[in-house]
Structure 1
Amino acid sequence: MPLSDFQVRASIAVSDIGRAAEFYEGRLGLRALRSGPSARIADGSRVYGSGGGPALNVYQSATAGKSSATMATWYVDDIDEVVDQLTAAGVEFTRYDEYEHDAQGITARAGGGRIAWFQDPDGNTFAVEADH
């Protein structure tokens, strides 16, 4: 069977699962579907749901925050509303010098649409994106 027959989830390494849970649940509003072990840490991982199914595996690891790439992107209908809600929850949006950002931290996306990036406490980068 080809991999396209199966669901895929992003896996995100964090340095402290408790601090990460506060961010992912408290600020992003994600719901933990389950928790479990991560390597030698009894309660060191969470699976978060988004869009009606499991979406993110978050686990405690020494490799936390080592990538500067965008780890996952949420595709939203109203980026202004989502960015406002996340900002009100304490999420800070990242501005990159090579892009022009509006007051909310949103920039034009290549090929049309708009995008805004933010980071978790370990520096893992995420985005919200909309086609308009």
Structure 2
Amino acid sequence: MVTATHVFGSFAVPDTAEARAFYAGTLGLEVGPVAGMEEQGLIEIDLGEGRSVLVYPKPDHVPAVFTVLNLVVDDVEAAVDELADAGVPTLRYEGFDQDARGIARGDGGPAVAWFADPFGNVCSVLQEA
């Protein structure tokens, strides 16, 4: 068994300065450079409670085909409206019954809407059931 001293997630973008502007400016998340790695362009998104996700530059970036970041919100409708006001559209997926605003409501599961960052990585806002 692996004995980890710390665990974190990460994903790539082609431009971490633009990613920082989106995740901090558009989404309102706490984003900063990784101490000692500023020259390499690594940033981290603060998830709270001492947790973060690493975002690293990858010039030949290909967007993830899965959700890389989920933002739990109290009101998914308000979050979708805020995203729309910021010019961030929701994504649509076959097999999900999404309303006119792109919100899917599962049987007893969370209400969720997906959107992409400027690089095509999929994120979501979700309201827990």
CA distance in 2, matches of 1:33, 1:19: 12
Pairing of 1:55-94 with structure 2 (within 5 A): 55-62=52-59, 64-94=61-91
Which residue identity is paired with 1:37?
M
TM-score calculated relative to the size of structure 1: 0.78
Deviations along 1:28-62, whole A, 9 cap, x unmatched? 11122434538xxx241111213454432111014
Pairing of 1:37-48 with structure 2 (within 5 A): 37=37, 42-48=39-45
| Shift in CA distance, 52/60, structure 1 to aligned 2, threshold 3 Å | same
Which residue identity is paired with 1:81?
A
CA distance in 2, matches of 1:19, 1:104: 26
Does the alignment pair 1:109 with 2:109?
no
Query: How many percent of aligned residue pairs carry the same amino acid?
Result: 35
Which residue in the other structure is 2:47 paired with?
50
Cα shift at 1:128: 1.4
Question: Does structure 2 retain, via aligned residues, the 8 Å contact 1:46–1:57?
Answer: yes
In structure 1, stretches of 5+ residues that fail to align are none
Question: Does structure 1 retain, via aligned residues, the 8 Å contact 2:33–2:41?
Answer: no
In structure 2, stretches of 5+ residues that fail to align are none
Which residue identity is paired with 2:100?
A
Deviations along 1:48-94, whole A, 9 cap, x unmatched? 21345443211101453342011121222211122222222222211
Does the alignment pair 1:34 with 2:33?
yes
